[in-house]
Amino acid sequence: AAGSLRQLDPRLTAQRPLSFYAYGFGEVVPSPIAEKQSASIGRLQQWGLPVSPLHQVVTGVEGCIDYFQRMLQQRDALPYEIDGVVFKVDNLDLQQQLGSVSRAPRWAIAYKFPAQEEMTQVESIEFQVGRTGAITPVARLTPVFVGGVTVSNATLHNMDEVMRKDVRPGDTVIVRRAGDVIPEVVSVVADRRQSHADRVKLPSACPVCGSDIIKPEGEAVARCSGGLYCPAQRKQSLKHFASRKAMDIEGLGDKLVDQLVEQALVDNPADLFKLSLEQLSGLERMAEKSAQNLLQALEKSKSTTLDRFLFALGIREVGEATAQSLASQFATLEALEQADEEALQETPDVGPIVAAHTHSFFRQPHNREVIEQLIDAGIQWPAVEVQPAVQQPLSGKTVVITGTLSKPRDEIKQALQALGAKVTGSVSKKTDYLLAGEEAGSKLAKAEKLGVAVLDEAGLQDLLAQNQ
């Protein structure tokens, strides 16, 4: 639902049958509508608003445990997915007295269900090739229903993980959806292993293009050395280039990219802007109107920003936040292209590894040629305005965002960046603040363990007021 509401095209959202359950009020002036949470839900229902039929008033710890167990048993029969139960103090006056801490109310607590686990069999272990050439082992499973979905594949991450868990074709394994999202192999049921089950070996050649596979010393991930010669890397690079947070080329989906590469119409991102109506119209499931729409989307994508363009290039280890930092530090593409590793490391939070990958990318003649073709195709961006650090209240601060907030995450991220903050995706010792909304999970736990300051949205506003 959250992804549907954040769609850039409201027509797509309108096509999805979203619905909601009302569960409470905001501020009520001048007097409360009800004295209890349960009575509030009753009033909402009287007004014709949809409310959950499963809400219930319980008493004491035993009542909470009993309700939790009943919901756990009913979970799979519900027409929507739930991942736990929220217990709330029913009396609204007591809620007011209890108040809130920086990230959550004291009068409510979420109790999560344990991840559902099931047994199935590994039919085979195959190797996929990613955008940067990373070779990822994937377990092909006998389909099994886990956590509300049918799971037939599970990533094994890398060969070190395969060896640690000792997963072999034919094994019976326990699988679950990590965080109720990503299928993973938890463990092998050793006593069910077949006598002829052989250990998996890392292939010496790329399964797609046949190039040598290399495993740099000190790294867990093996990589195909074929670069853009490898069709798999080409496809993934193009999909990344067209993605919403990169060049945002509407209508250029995965299947269309596959066709373009397989029919040799596109070798690199610059080729996208050379496509003709005739070429596109001849593709499978591509009518003339769809082809015209794609050409218009390609034209529209030419107006972008420097940080989005850098992110779209797919430089290894350069994510959104790092692309933003590089754009702010160097202001122009030309300055970035000419920077040596020492200059690159002067960028906030850019260390020797990121600097080496970035420097290497711009030294490659093929990459320079593609960038030149993209610029010649008309891709442009406004000049980067770099504000003096002293004018930015969050200059030099690293912020991580987690949970559900009152505004779209991208909007909050841009606002933080405009104030000088570096917004990253994971919590570490270098993190200054964690901005935590509702349903904050593992990032919140890690921040508390590391002693990172945790803010809610009101706390962020207080911090900004103090620094202005």
| Token reading at 207 | 């399964």
pLDDT tens-place values along the chain, 468 residues long: 777 887 777 888 888 889 999 998 877 777 678 899 999 999 999 999 999 999 999 999 999 999 999 999 998 888 888 889 999 999 998 988 888 766 678 899 999 888 888 999 999 999 999 998 999 999 999 999 987 789 999 989 999 999 999 999 999 999 998 666 789 999 999 999 988 899 999 899 999 999 999 887 788 899 998 877 799 999 999 999 999 999 999 999 999 999 999 999 999 999 999 999 999 999 998 989 999 999 999 999 999 999 999 999 999 899 998 999 999 999 999 999 999 999 999 887 788 889 998 998 898 888 899 999 999 999 999 998 765 545 577 877 889 998 888 888 878 887 887 787 888 888 888 899 999 888 777 888 888 889 999 988 888 887 777 665
CA distances from 316 to 229, 250, 319, 363 (A): 17, 24, 8, 14
**How many CB atoms lie under 10 A from the CB of residue 93?**
11
Predicted pLDDT of residue 102 = 60
Nearest to 142, CA basis, from 116, 120, 118? 120
| Token reading at 218 | 């000190």
Whole-angstrom Cα distance, residue 159 to residue 201? Answer: 8
Predicted pLDDT of residue 56 = 96
Q: Which residue type does 9 have?
A: D
Phi, psi of 201 (to 5 degrees): -115, 140
Nearest to 68, CA basis, from 53, 83, 81, 80? 83
For residue 188, the SS3 value is strand
Nearest to 28, CA basis, from 75, 97, 92? 92
Whole-angstrom Cα distance, residue 357 to residue 363? Answer: 10
Helix axes 231-242, 254-262, angle to 10 degrees: 140
- Output the CA angle 262-265-268, nearest 5 degrees: 95
Whole-angstrom Cα distance, residue 252 to residue 258? Answer: 10
Who contacts 58 (Cβ-Cβ below 8 Å, separation ≥6)? 64, 66, 67
Predicted pLDDT of residue 179 = 62
CA dihedral (298, 299, 304, 306) positive or negative: positive
**Structural domains of the chain, ranges and CATH numbers in brackets:** 1-112 (3.30.1490.70), 115-227 (2.40.50.140), 230-302 (1.10.150.20), 306-377 (1.10.150.20), 398-466 (3.40.50.10190)
Give the gyration radius of the chain's Cα atoms: 26
Q: What is the pTM of this model?
A: 0.61
Nearest to 354, CA basis, from 401, 385, 321? 321
CA dihedral (236, 237, 242, 243) positive or negative: positive
Helix axes 352-363, 365-376, angle to 10 degrees: 70
Whole-angstrom Cα distance, residue 305 to residue 417? Answer: 14
Who contacts 355 (Cβ-Cβ below 8 Å, separation ≥6)? 341, 342, 344, 345
| Token reading at 149 | 């979905």
Whole-angstrom Cα distance, residue 101 to residue 236? Answer: 43
On the 0-12 / 13-18 / 19+ scale of CB atoms within 10 A, 350 is buried
For residues 435 and 460, the answer to whether their CB atoms sit within 8 Å is yes
| Token reading at 241 | 């280039």
Nearest to 282, CA basis, from 260, 254, 253? 260
